[in-house]
Amino acid sequence: MIRRIKKVILIYMAILASVFFLLRLFLNSINLEYRQWVVIAFTFVLTIGANVGIAQLILKIKRKWLRVSCIAVVVCIFAIIIYNTFLTWGFSYGKEYTVEKNGYKLLAHVNAFLETTIYYYDYKNPFVQGKKLRLYEWYGNGAYDPFDGIETGFIPDVKESIWYDDNGKRIIKHLPDCR
């Protein structure tokens, strides 16, 4: 059994990717989406599997010059992909927290690059979350995590917050007093 899996690992990765994306389409149709850690874990597994599968195919090539050429092309392509992936994830990754606000159990996505913003979605379970934005909070300039302040005693002021209904329409907007 293990020998057979070793021979067709690229095919298994293609099946895994297809199932993942079909489930993603299904989740989108019912207003749900994967949580961030699920997407990262899947991407990691798929990347490792695809690398091993491609290496298997390249090593089966009999002609040495063709094998070396394929290895060089694949290394260049992976270098470009990895560079772009690190840039994209490096600037877009944010922490997730499960919180309760106004009686709602929400999943908070903290985005703290140049400004600190928290996007809240409905919490469903450890694997999926609601797709529609439920609450938006803006803390202003600065790259910090407002939830870290709970431990240290520093809780920053919210500069703007907006609640949304089930249809994604703004229902409550809160701005601080401008004096």
Domain ranges of the chain: 2-92, 96-174
- pLDDT score at 177: 52
Main-chain phi, psi angles of 123, to 5 degrees? -85, 130
Which of the pair, 142 or 39, is modelled with greater confidence?
39
Which tens digits make up the pLDDT trace of 2-17?
565 556 788 888 899 9
pLDDT value of position 67: 80
What pTM was estimated for this model as a whole? 0.78
Is 50's pLDDT higher than 80? yes
Enumerate residues 6+ apart whose C-beta is below 8 A from 28. Answer: 131
pLDDT digits (tens, 9 = 90+) for 100-157: 988 889 999 998 878 889 999 999 999 999 999 999 998 888 777 888 777 777 778 8
The residue-averaged pLDDT of 78-92 equals 73
The chain-wide mean pLDDT, for the chain, equals 84
